[in-house]
Amino acid sequence: MADLKPASILDLATGSGDFALALGKCNPQATVVGVDFSAEMLRRAQAKGLQNLILADALRLPFQSASFDVVAVAYGLRNMESWSDALHEMRRVLRAGGHVLILDFSIPTWQPMRAIYRLYLHLCLPMLAAVLTGEKSAYRYLADSIETFPQGETMKSLLHACNFKHVLWKPLSGGIVSLYLAQVEGG
Ligand SMILES: C[S@@+](CC[C@H](N)C(=O)[O-])C[C@H]1O[C@@H](n2cnc3c(N)ncnc32)[C@H](O)[C@@H]1O
């Protein structure tokens, strides 16, 4: 993404700011703005040195249309109320020719890896979590949300339906994470 040389990056669901910090390091020329609807998470991001932080819902962004060169969201879109409404809102705040970058968990497509990962996700992880944290249900929710979140060709179709072009999908770490890059026409 550094090749795109963006001047402005919006990091949605910025949480405690790790992804926003990485974006800032890779794109030192860019202003990075972080948005989250949790004041507590923004306090943690601020403590890590992030400056441009805004408390807002990603589905109703307090920015004018065509304000950013890149909108990024890492491990955030999956939990949003409406994936399609969130993507439309991201598209609205992107400039013509701007890019959206989505990073999130996915299920590997290679069958042997898929079977092993599903065993880990649905059985081992909730059991381990129950022993270590007492929070089995949170990890059950995580597993279910990964299963239902659009991935691969389905995510590409969703991005096309939200009027993004040139959609790329790159499975990472054997497919347990997927990266999508798509562009707004023009620019
Ligand atoms: C797993 S954390 C994100 C971590 C961060 N992106 C990173 O990779 O460093 C998920 C965050 O999404 C935020 N979030 C979920 N839905 C949101 C929404 N509709 N608008 C803004 N923030 C949202 C939560 O408050 C939480 O801080």
Digit-coded pLDDT (tens) for 145-179:
999 999 999 999 999 999 999 999 999 999 999 99
Asked whether residue 99 falls in the same domain as residue 133, the answer is: no
Residue of the CA atom closest to atom 3 of ligand 1:
15
What per-residue confidence (pLDDT) applies to 74? Answer: 98
Please give the distance, rounded to the nearest whole angstrom, from the Cα atom of residue 10 to the centre of ligand 1.
Answer: 13
What's the total number of domains in the chain? Answer: 2
Asked whether residue 68 falls in the same domain as residue 158, the answer is: yes
Minimum-distance ligand 1 atom for the alpha carbon of 18? 9
- Residue 54's CATH number: 3.40.50.150
pLDDT greater than 70 at residue 19: yes
pLDDT greater than 80 at residue 1: no
How far, in Å, CA of 114 to CA of 123, rounded? 14
Asked whether residue 51 falls in the same domain as residue 113, the answer is: no
Digit-coded pLDDT (tens) for 65-103:
999 999 999 999 999 999 999 999 999 999 999 999 999
Q: Is the CB of 19 under 6 A from ligand 1?
A: yes
Asked whether residue 48 falls in the same domain as residue 23, the answer is: yes
Asked whether residue 138 falls in the same domain as residue 70, the answer is: no
pTM of the predicted protein model: 0.95
Residue of the CA atom closest to atom 23 of ligand 1:
13
Asked whether residue 90 falls in the same domain as residue 114, the answer is: no
Minimum-distance ligand 1 atom for the alpha carbon of 20? 9
**Which residues span the domain enclosing 14?**
2-106+150-183
Asked whether residue 124 falls in the same domain as residue 172, the answer is: no
Asked whether residue 60 falls in the same domain as residue 126, the answer is: no
Asked whether residue 76 falls in the same domain as residue 136, the answer is: no
**Rounded mean pLDDT of the chain?**
95
Q: Is the CB of 80 under 6 A from ligand 1?
A: yes
Q: Is the CB of 139 under 6 A from ligand 1?
A: no
Please give the distance, rounded to the nearest whole angstrom, from the Cα atom of residue 165 to the centre of ligand 1.
Answer: 25
What per-residue confidence (pLDDT) applies to 2? Answer: 63
Asked whether residue 80 falls in the same domain as residue 116, the answer is: no
Asked whether residue 119 falls in the same domain as residue 83, the answer is: no
How far, in Å, CA of 181 to CA of 179, rounded? 7
Asked whether residue 161 falls in the same domain as residue 73, the answer is: yes
